[in-house]
Amino acid sequence: MGDISVHGMIGSPFVRSALVALEEKGQGYRFVPLKLDALRTPEYRALHPFGRVPAFEQDGFVVYETQAILRHVDRAFPEPALTPRGLEAAARMDQVLNTIDSYLFADAGAVLGFNRIIAPRILKVDPDEEACARAEKRVARALGVLAGVLGDKPHLTGDAMTLADIALACHLDFLAATPEGERAIAMVPRLAAFGLRMAERSSFVDTTIPALVRRFLPKKG
- SS3 of the chain: helix, strand, coil, percent, to 5: 60, 10, 30
pLDDT in tens, 37-62: 999 999 999 999 999 999 999 999 99
pLDDT in tens, 114-158: 999 999 988 899 999 999 999 999 999 999 999 999 999 999 999
Please tell me the predicted confidence (pLDDT) of residue 1: 52
Please tell me the predicted confidence (pLDDT) of residue 111: 96
The domain segmentation of the chain, as residue ranges, is 4-81+205-216, 87-201
The CATH code of domain 87-201 reads 1.20.1050.10
Q: Considering the domain 4-81+205-216, what is its CATH architecture?
A: 3-Layer(aba) Sandwich (3.40)
Going from the C-alpha of 162 to that of each of 28, 91, 121, 153, 193, the distances in angstroms are: 20, 12, 33, 13, 17
Which of 37, 7, 209, 210 lies closest to 123 in space, CA to CA? Answer: 37
